Amino acid sequence: MRINATNKAKTENKKNRYRGIVLRQLSREILSEFYARKFTFEPLFTVITPRMFANREFGFLIENNGEDKFTRNLSFKTPSELKKYMITNGVKAAYIGAIYQPPPSPGRSITKLKWLGRELVFDIDLTDYDDVRTCGKGKDHVCPKCWPFVVDAALMIEEILRDDFGLSKITWVFSGRRGYHAWVSDEIAKYFDEETREAIATYISPDNPEELVPISYQKKIIRLLLRKDLTMLVKQNKKLFKKTWRELLKRLPRIDKKVTMDTVRLLRVPGSVHPATGKIAIIVKDPQTFYPDDAPTIWEALGID
C-alpha cells in the first residue's frame, strides 16, 4: 500500500536522521535558495556586535564540480555583501573568525594582520564522551540516553562562567550535529589572550579531575550533576560516596580545548547549515530542554520536507 510505503520511508528517514546522516543531496541550488529565502542575520548578531563587521574574517566550504574547497581570509563590507556571497556560491558551510586590522583579504594570511579580538567560545561534542556513553549505537550517533552528557556540560559551563568568571553574555548555539557551541560575548572576553582562554578551559574541564579540584567546583558538581547538596551526600556511607563521586567525574564538561584557546579559529556561523546533517545551527534558548531533533533541516525550513 502506498500509504504504508510512505510511512515506512518516513520511519527510515527518522532513523537515519537519528544517526546524523544526510539523505538528500545538499546541492548548491538548494543552499542558495536557503540563504536567499530563509537565512537571517539575527542569530549571528546575537553572538557578535555589528561593530567592526567589515573587519571580521569569514571562511566557507564551497562545492565546485563535485569537489569541496575550503576558503578563508575573506571579509565583507556589509552583511548584505556577505549574504550575496553565500547565495551566489551556494556555500556548503559558513564560518566566522576574529576581527583584524586591516580587514582580511584573499591571498593575504591573517597572521600578517593585527588581531583585534574575538569572542570566547566553547565546543561540546558528544563524541568526546565515547568512553562513557554505553548506548552503543556507534560513534556518530545521538540518542536521548547520551544527549544528557552535553546538557550537563552546558549547565556546568554556564554556571562556572557566571559565578567564577563573572561573564554573563552567554549564548548557546546548536552545533548542527552532536553538540553545542557556547559564545561568550562580554566585551572583556573578546580580548582574552590564548593563555587566559586556556586557563578558563582547563578550570572548566580539568585535565586530571581525580586530583583535587577547588571546593567550590566540587560543590557545583554535586549540586548540578547530582541535583543534591553536599551535606546530603556525606550522610551516605563512604563507599557509596566514592562510587558516586567517580561516576560524577565522568560527567564533567568535556570541551575541545583547542577551539577555546585558538583565537583565530573559525566557528560555524549561527543560523547557517551543517553540511553533514542539513540541520540549521540555531540559537538554543534553553540548552537544558533542547534536543537535536528540535533543529529544523534546510529542507524543512524551505518547506520541501
Contact 93, 61 (CB under 8 A): yes
Choosing from 125, 152, 256, 262, the catalytic residue is 125
> Quick one: 146 or 200, whose CB is closer to Zn ion?
146
Straight-line distance from the first to the last Cα atom of the chain, in angstroms, rounded to the nearest whole number: 21
Instruction: Give least dist CB 289 to Zn ion, A.
Output: 18
Instruction: Give least dist CB 15 to Zn ion, A.
Output: 14
Instruction: Give least dist CB 293 to Zn ion, A.
Output: 13
Instruction: Give least dist CB 130 to Zn ion, A.
Output: 10
Query: Any idea which residue has 586590522 for its cell?
Result: 101
Choosing from 57, 63, 256, 262, the catalytic residue is 57
DSSP summary character for residue 108: B
164 catalytic per annotation: no
Contacts of 58 (CB under 8 A, 6+ apart): 72, 74, 75, 76, 82, 94, 95, 96, 97, 104, 266, 269
Residues making contact with Zn ion (CB under 5 A): 135, 143, 145-146
Choosing from 33, 63, 119, 123, the catalytic residue is 123
- Starting from the edge strand earliest in sequence, which strands make up the sheet with 283-284, in order? 120-125, 179-184, 170-174, 283-284
All three cell numbers of 211:
586530583
12 catalytic per annotation: no
**DSSP per residue over 19-52, as a string?**
TT---S---HHHHHHHHHHT--STTHHHHS-STT
> Quick one: 21 or 135, whose CB is closer to Zn ion?
135
123 catalytic per annotation: yes
> Quick one: 135 or 240, whose CB is closer to Zn ion?
135
> Quick one: 119 or 128, whose CB is closer to Zn ion?
128
- Report the chain's C-alpha Rg in angstroms: 21
Catalytic residues: 57, 123, 125
